[in-house]
Amino acid sequence: DAGVIQSPRHEVTEMGQEVTLRCKPISGHDYLFWYRQTMMRGLELLIYFNNNVPIDDSGMPEDRFSAKMPNASFSTLKIQPSEPRDSAVYFCASTRTGFFYEQYFGPGTRLTVT
């Protein structure tokens, strides 16, 4: 299996622009998680989906952030408009029911907002 795939690996954008991060979970996994990693706050869960349905988005920082999962093999995290404080590494992870302790992480997207 290719593992969790994220794109792009690096993204540099200007403040105010829209940014879209993409994730393809491992085939057969029915849970998908979006995390953000910063030096100040460490790794934080932003939102997670089960069977393509958002279950808990309490970690989403504000309305500028939105996430979708239109099908079992694709999810997006969108920031609009982006701000410098959104600069971070964003991870996607997936797992399957009954194996929550085995979350497989993607390689992350390093986002820099100037």
Helices in 74-113 by DSSP H: which ranges?
none
Largest CA distance in the chain: 41
User: How many chain residues bind another protein (CB under 8 A)?
Assistant: 21
53 contributes a contact to another protein by CB under 8 A: no
By CB under 8 A, residue 56 contacts another protein: yes
Stretch touching another protein by CB under 8 A, among 12-20, 67-75, 76-84, 99-107: 99-107
> Is the separation of the CB atoms in 73 and 86 below 8 Å?
no
Closest CA to 113 of 10, 39, 22: 10
Point out which residues bind another protein (CB under 8 A): 31, 33, 42-45, 48, 56, 89, 91, 93, 95, 100-103, 105-108, 110
